[in-house]
Amino acid sequence: MNAPDHASSVGAVTAQKARFGEPLRLKGGAELPSYEIAYETYGELNAARTNAVLVCHALNASHHVAGYYAEQPDNIGWWDNLVGPGKPLDTRRFFVVGSNYIGSCFGSTGPASINPASGKPWGADFPVVTVEDWVEAQARLADRLGIERFAAVIGGSLGAMQALQWTLSYPERIRHSIVIAAAPRLTPQNIAFNEVARQAIMTDPDFHGGHYYEKGVVPTRGLRIARMIGHITYLSGEAMAEKFGRLLRRGAPGFDFDIDFEVESYLRYQGDKFSTYFDANTYLRITKALDYFDPGAEYGGNLSAALARAQAAFMVVSFKSDWRFPPARSREIVRALLDNRRIVSYLEIDAPGGHDAFLLEDRRYHNALRAYFANIDL
Amino acid sequence: MRADLAAIAQWVAPQARVLDLGCGDGSLLRYLWQQRQAPGYGVEIDDAAVLGCVENDVNVLQVDLESGLSLFADQSFDSVVLSETLQTIHRTEFLMREMLRVGREVIVSFPNFGHWAARLQVLFGRMPVSETLPYQWYETPNVHHCTVVDFEDLCRRLGVRIRERLVLHEGHAVTWLPNLLGSVAVYRCTAA
């Protein structure tokens, strides 16, 4: 195996936007008359156009996958530990595309964008989007970039659902699907967590039924709580114990309702930070996209039947400490792929990081991805 | 290639679908794909071996054999291979049944505890250590040792039909007193 010689950053990068005038018909029945997709690319598309890899992001990330912005050197891409020269997804060999999903608040058309019909922000009127819709939009971006077929599509969590959906929406346009920390559909328990988060937002007095932009307010309290709930499900109990223990902020219990335990401080900090940069209407829509994802549904719940049309080779990775989408959920996907005699490898990594482990640099995990990418023919 | 693997490879038909349990770094599967165009999957629990499989471009599934073969449908493989792994399994009978459920035939190899060198060491009051049993008793992953005769008893008990047997020592077939002179045994079995 090649050593990670001189693994380094892709350096300063620039976000780009692609504008699409042709309407996008959504699974929910609505239509986006026109839209923009924010994206970044790293590396060079080869002459045969066989080396493109699409990176799909999860809930709160964006198209800023790797590198940094020249004017914001601390704003480093969310998967910079994986993508770059000499890194497991090596940009000296692959042309990597990070694309922001429709409905986001980071650049692609979303609830805060202007609705051409009214001249005002879409707000609550922005349609509910699905994983299938995102793949459709990504396919159009691929057309625009001259990519007929991706060497691989990779993602973790909600991003993994997109990597899986690609093999179903466009089986002939994807050679490898790398599905990390995934579930083939949410459990009622997963949906319950999402619903609590949505209720936190929608019952915030500043929500105004989703039309808060024109009121000049933000449902900060709801967003904070939504984020706190999310964070509890991203970390494992073990990771929380390791990180915070029962450490007391003030050395002794305060017998009041200020911050006692470190974990409270952490959650409040995460909630506060999130509520300053994330859009509540976007949060509602992505949690719905998660809830609705269920490729087996059209086949009476039979995932094997649903995956029959996939042609790609698969790499499925799960983490033992992930209780949001535990290994058993990934094994459902693997079982369905085996039923269809697809090419598949499955790794179950004993890392402590919980659901967020897919973002962390674990040697076993990254070495396996490095080896997998190295074996992809160009 | 290890002698028992060479024997196993001979018993796998061209283009057969193979499941290799405890596949290590995937060498056998890679060989079977290159030499016999037999596609397959490996099952392996060890992180380093799993990485070896990915490097060897072999399909590998990192699951614990002790929890069974629930990933695999009934009779979905032509050959299920368990090479030099039987002796490390806790639920031996359960796994044998599972192998016969998912495969049309199973190929099993294991170190023969009945080999004279092992017997001699026990006679002198020591746990055997040899080329085929390379561990000290306190560090061995092996939990269920057996001899050629013991394994054949188990097959009878489970109603497993032995189709072929090859007993080896230092890569050569042993036909005379195999349970005494053979250090490795390889079997090809089917459900009766």
Smallest Cα distance from A339 to chain B, Å:
7
Chain B residues in contact with A350 (beta carbon < 8 A): 47
By C-alpha distance, the chain B residue nearest A336 is B71
Contact (Cβ atoms closer than 8 angstroms) between residue A249 and residue A265:
yes
Please indicate whether, in this complex, the C-beta atoms of B59 and A371 are within 8 angstroms of each other: no
SS3 B97: helix
pLDDT in tens, A57-79: 999 899 999 999 999 999 999 99
Q: Are B190 and B163 in contact (CB under 8 A)?
A: yes
Is A331 strand, coil or helix? helix
Chain B interface mutation, best of A302, A307, A338, A344, highest count of B Cβ atoms under 10 Å = A338
Percent of chain B residues past pLDDT 70, beyond the cut = 100
Strand runs labelled E in chain B: 18-21, 40-43, 60-61, 77-83, 103-111, 160-169, 172-173, 184-191
Residue B3 pLDDT grade (very low, low, confident, very high; cuts 50, 70, 90): confident
pLDDT in tens, A190-219: 999 999 999 999 999 999 999 999 999 999
Nearest to B59 among A335, A344, A348 (CB): A344
Please indicate if any CB of chain B lies within 8 Å of the CB of A331: yes
Interface touch A372/B72, C-beta < 8 Å = no
Tokens of B83: 């090479």
Q: State the Cα angle at B84 between B79 and B89, rounded to 5°.
A: 90
- Distance to chain A for B37, nearest Cα, Å: 14
Contact B61 A368 (CB under 8 A): no
What gap in Å lies between CA A38 and CA A36, rounded to an integer? 7
Structure tokens at A237: 């109990």
pLDDT of residue A94: 98
A249 near B CB under 8 A = no
pLDDT digits (tens, 9 = 90+) for A303-322: 999 999 999 999 999 999 99
| Chain B: closest CA distance from residue A55 (Å) | 21
Q: Is the pLDDT confidence value at A7 over 90?
A: no
Rounded to an integer, what is the distance from CA A359 to the centroid of its chain?
11
Cβ of residue A347 closer than 8 Å to a chain B Cβ: yes
Q: What is the pLDDT of residues B44-94, one digit of tens each?
A: 999 999 999 999 999 999 999 998 899 999 999 999 999 999 999 999 999
How do beta strands A120-121 and A35-42 pair?
Answer: unpaired
By the CB < 8 Å criterion, does A334 face chain B?
A: yes
- pLDDT value for A344: 98
Judging by DSSP bridges, how do beta strands B160-169 and B172-173 pair with one another?
antiparallel
Contacts of B66 (CB under 8 A, 6+ apart): B89, B90, B91, B95
Residue positions of A annotated with a catalytic role: 157, 322, 355
What is the rounded average pLDDT of the residues B170-178? 95
Judging by beta carbons within 10 Å of its beta carbon (0-12, 13-18, 19+), is residue B167 exposed, middle or buried?
buried
Q: CA nearest A308: which of A294, A292, A322, A295?
A: A295
Rounded distance, CA A344 to CA B61, Å? Answer: 8
ipTM above 0.85, yes or no: yes
**Given the DSSP bridges, would you call strands A120-121 and A114-115 parallel, antiparallel or unpaired?**
antiparallel
**Mean pLDDT of all residues in A286-292:** 97
d(CA B98, CA B71) in angstroms, rounded, equals: 11
In the numeric block, the tokens 């390889």 are attached to: B186
Instruction: Locate the chain B residue with the closest alpha carbon to A1.
Output: B55
- The mean predicted confidence, pLDDT, of chain A is 96
Count CB pairs under 8 A between chains A and B.
Answer: 48
Are residues A116 and A275 in contact, defined by beta-carbon separation less than 8 angstroms? no
Q: Please indicate whether, in this complex, the C-beta atoms of B61 and A1 are within 8 angstroms of each other.
A: no
Contact criterion met (CB < 8 Å) for B63 and A331 = yes
Is the CB of residue A314 less than 8 Å away from at least one CB of chain B?
Answer: no
| A42: closest CA of chain B, how far (Å) | 25
Q: Which of B30, B33, B95, B107 has its CA nearest to residue B64?
A: B95
